[in-house]
Amino acid sequence: RSKDEGGGQHYTYEPALHAHAEERRRLEFSLRRALERNEFSLNFQPVVDAESEAIVSFEALLRWNSEEHGFVSPAKFIPLSEDTRLIVPIGEWVLREACKEAARWPGHVRVAVNVSGEQLLEPNFAASVVGALSMSRLQASRLELEVTESIFVRDAAQARAALEQVMALGCGVALDDFGTGYSSLGYLRKLRFSNIKVDRSFVQGAATGNPESLAIIRAVVAMADSLEMSTTAEGVEDERELATVRSLGCKKVQGYYFGRPMPAPDARRLFDERQRRKEANAA
State the residues that interact with Mg ion by CB under 5 A: 114, 146, 176-177, 199, 234
Helix 87-102 to helix 74-83 angle (10° resolution) is 120
**Which residue's CB is nearer to Mg ion, number 30 or number 180?**
180
- Grouping H, G, I as helix, E, B as strand and the rest as coil, residue 181 is coil
259 binds, among ligand C2E, Mg ion, none (CB under 5 to 8 A by kind): none
| Cβ neighbourhood burial of 281 (10 Å; 0-12, 13-18, 19+) | exposed
Binding mask 191-230 for ligand C2E (x = CB under 6 A): ---------x------------------------------
What's the maximum distance between 2 C-alpha atoms anywhere in the chain? 83
Q: Which of residues 133-192 bind ligand C2E (CB under 6 A)?
A: 146, 176-177
48 binds, among ligand C2E, Mg ion, none (CB under 5 to 8 A by kind): none
**Which residue's CB is nearer to ligand C2E, number 177 or number 271?**
177
Q: CA 37, CA 175: separation in Å to the nearest integer?
A: 32
Residue of 46, 255, 267, 271 that binds ligand C2E (CB under 6 A): 255
Residue of 94, 120, 162, 174 that binds ligand C2E (CB under 6 A): 94
Name residues whose C-beta falls within 8 Å of residue 8's C-beta, 6 or more positions apart in sequence: none
DSSP per position, 66-107: ETTTEEE-HHHHHHHHHHTTTHHHHHHHHHHHHHHHHTTS-T
Which residues are at the interface with ligand C2E (CB under 6 A)? 45, 61-62, 74-75, 78, 87, 91, 94, 114-116, 146, 176-177, 200, 235-237, 255-256, 261
